[in-house]
Amino acid sequence: MTVQIKKEELFSVLPEHAFAFFADTPVVYHCHHYNLWLDQTIDDALGTREGMALRTRTAHEAFYHYLAQLVPRSGADTPAEKLKVAELIFAAMGHGNLRLHTQAQGGLATGDFLHYGYTWKEKYGEKVRRRHTADAVAAGCAVAATEIAFDLPMGTLDVAEETCVSLGAPQCRFQIEGAKQPMPPSRPVGKRETQRLLGDSFSGKHEEQIRAITTGLRSFLGTINSDERGLVQGFGVFVTLHLASYYNGISYNALYNIERTAPQSFDVMQGLLVEAGHQCGFNTFGGILRSPEWEGLVGAPTGDPLEILIGCCAIGRALGFGQWTIQDFAPDKHFVLRTPGTYESTYHVTRHGLASSGRCYLHQGGTLAAVQLAHRVPWREKPTFDQAFYRSLFHSDPQWRFQETHCVSKGDDYCEVAVERIRK
């Protein structure tokens, strides 16, 4: 029997809330800047060993729940077919080529062009030497796929990445074997759990324009396929369709670990989580706004700040970040972005309950980045969104400050970030 993954049947969107799902699992598009920074922040918080353990465990759990939904809908019957489905979907999501040579008791998996290791080498390889493996997500997928393929409970097996291209190896290799410690059971945060938390949606200013661009962008994103490497490269970044539970799981578990063990570092960790969102927003949104595809869809940016913010709201929606709406904007003064929920807040409430303050770090960083793009980028000069440009703008002098004034995570009806100009 031939396995097949019908993307159009498995991919769904809640258009009024701008959330995306694949096989009823919350998914979101993110670039390698965000992915690498977030993983790095987890390791900075917990130390490399504990950080890798958390990232691998979270990917294991997230991919187990995901594949448990996906594989039965693929037509795969045999373990070999189920493993094949996992390989195909992993590459289709832009995570690279993973090969699973495993049996019920474990075995070997190999990876080529795996998103994390490969893009780390591309971005940082000439600047710093890495001392530990990079592909917790591929490791988690490999072990979860093996468990699903052989109908094993989650946590039966364990995985370790033995070689990694980020360390100079020609290929990534993973060893899968029986777990020495049981994995605590967990319930997925899927489409149903997400929908349960969603209130009524709403619109903001310039809604028609944002909606029209979002529709066009969603159509365009639906046509993007990974290349022969299993990567999606476009807009100057490497893009993944990723499991929201992975991002949320590592972020909040590490954050609350820091709150317990090193409370003096809580704020700085929040700052680095926001920085992940800021890098994502600036690089990915900027890359999209500068792209020929955007010019074809909307027209080349003229540099009008409102035009950029409208574009950013549409991009945020199309990527699955939430129903970004403009509530208030005065050029060079302030900007208020509101959404009925984010993929962060819905997860947080489900898994961690209510918080004392906002917990949407991607939302905060992304909104700040939108304002920076609107006011600090010389669009007519067609800048290149590279590290030198980023560094030149943000090494000093922040110019804008932000606050998450409302958040579903703390019991509000919506999430809102207000950004205002710092006057000197």
Partner 1 sequence: MQILNLPAAAEGVPALQGLFVITMPDCLLFDSYVLPVLQEASEELAAMFGELVRNHRDALRLMGSWSSELQITVESSDRLLLLRELREDFLLVFAFESSLPIGMARLFGRRIGETLQLQLEGFQETSVDGEAEQSPRAARILEFLQRYAPDPHASMMRLALRTGIPMEHLEAPASLSPQALAKVEEAVCDILGIDQLNV
Nearer to partner 1, 166 or 350 (CB): 166
Q: How far apart are CA 370 and CA 402, in angstroms?
A: 12
Q: In the complex with partner 1, which residue's Cβ is closer, 391 or 423?
A: 391
Residue 417 Cβ vs partner 1, minimum distance, rounded to whole Å: 20
CB 308 within 8 A of CB 371: no
Site for partner 1 in 297-356 (CB under 8 A): none
Contact pattern from residue 118 through residue 157 relative to partner 1, giving x for each residue in contact according to CB under 8 A and a dash for the rest: -----xx-xxxxxx--------------------------
Say if CB 29 and CB 240 are below 8 A apart. yes
Where in 48-67 is the site for partner 1 (CB under 8 A)?
Answer: 48
Chain centroid to CA 294: 21
Cβ closer to partner 1: 311 or 365? 365
41 touching partner 1, by CB under 8 A: yes
Given candidates 12, 13, 24, 44, which one binds partner 1 under the rule CB under 8 A?
44
Of the pair 225, 387, the CB lying nearest partner 1 is at: 387
Q: Is the dihedral of CA 20, 82, 38, 119 positive or negative?
A: negative
To partner 1, the closest distance from the beta carbon of 158 in angstroms equals: 25
Compute the least distance from the CB of residue 132 to partner 1, in Å: 9
Q: What letter represents residue 18's amino acid?
A: A
Considering beta carbons, is residue 263 or 292 the nearer one to partner 1?
Answer: 263
Q: Which is nearer to partner 1, 84 or 359 (CB)?
A: 359
Of residues 230 and 365, the one with the C-beta less far from partner 1: 365
What are the φ/ψ torsions at residue 331 (nearest 5 degrees)? -50, 135
Nearest distance from C-beta of residue 21 to partner 1, angstroms: 32
Q: How far apart are CA 300 and CA 344, in angstroms?
A: 31
Q: Is 388 in the site for partner 1 (CB under 8 A)?
A: yes
Q: Which stretch binds partner 1 (CB under 8 A): 57-65, 270-278, 344-352, 410-418?
A: 270-278
SS3 label, residue 320: coil
Amino acid at 51: G
**Least distance CB 264 / partner 1 (angstroms):** 5
Amino acid at 22: F
39 binds partner 1 (CB under 8 A): no
373 binding partner 1? (CB under 8 A)? no
Judged by beta carbon, residue 205 or residue 375, the one nearer partner 1 is: 375
Q: In the set 78, 195, 357, 392, which binds partner 1 (CB under 8 A)? A: 392
Residue 423 corresponds to which tokens in the numbers above?
A: 């006057």
Site for partner 1 in 249-268 (CB under 8 A): 258, 262, 264-265, 268
Q: How far apart are CA 150 and CA 82, in angstroms?
A: 9
CB of 31 or CB of 45, closer to partner 1: 45
List the helix and strand counts (H, then E) for the chain.
16, 13
Closest Cα to residue 100, out of 176, 16, 28? Answer: 176
Measured at the alpha carbon of residue 186, what is the angle toward residues 185 and 187, in degrees to the nearest 5? 140
Here the tokens at position 409 are 């995570």
Strands 237-243 and 325-330: unpaired
In sequence order, the 6+-apart residues with CB closer than 8 A to the CB of 318 are 18, 29, 214, 217, 218, 221
User: Minimum distance from CB of 398 to partner 1 (Å)?
Assistant: 10
**Residue 396 binds to partner 1 (criterion: CB under 8 A):** yes
Q: Which is nearer to partner 1, 1 or 388 (CB)?
A: 388
CA–CA distances in Å: residue 211 to residues 82, 154, 189, 207: 38, 40, 27, 6
Residues in region 175-234 near partner 1 by CB under 8 A: none
Total Cβ atoms within 10 A of residue 221: 19
Residue 400 found at the interface with partner 1 (CB under 8 A): no
CB of 230 to partner 1, least distance (A): 25
C-alpha span between 92 and 74 (Å, rounded) = 14
For residue 135, which of 41, 66, 56, 250 has the smallest C-alpha distance?
Answer: 56
The backbone region for 273, taken as left when phi is positive above 0, alpha when psi lies in -120 to 50, beta otherwise, is alpha
When binding is defined by CB under 8 A, the residue of 172, 210, 221, 272 that contacts partner 1 is 272
Question: Which of residues 75 and 271 has its CB atom nearest to partner 1 in the complex?
Answer: 271
- Contacts with partner 1: how many residues (CB under 8 A)? 30
Using the rule CB under 8 A, which residue among 192, 382, 395, 424 binds partner 1?
395
Tell me which residues touch partner 1 (CB under 8 A). Answer: 40-41, 44-45, 47-48, 123-124, 126-131, 258, 262, 264-265, 268-269, 271-272, 275, 387-388, 391-392, 394-396
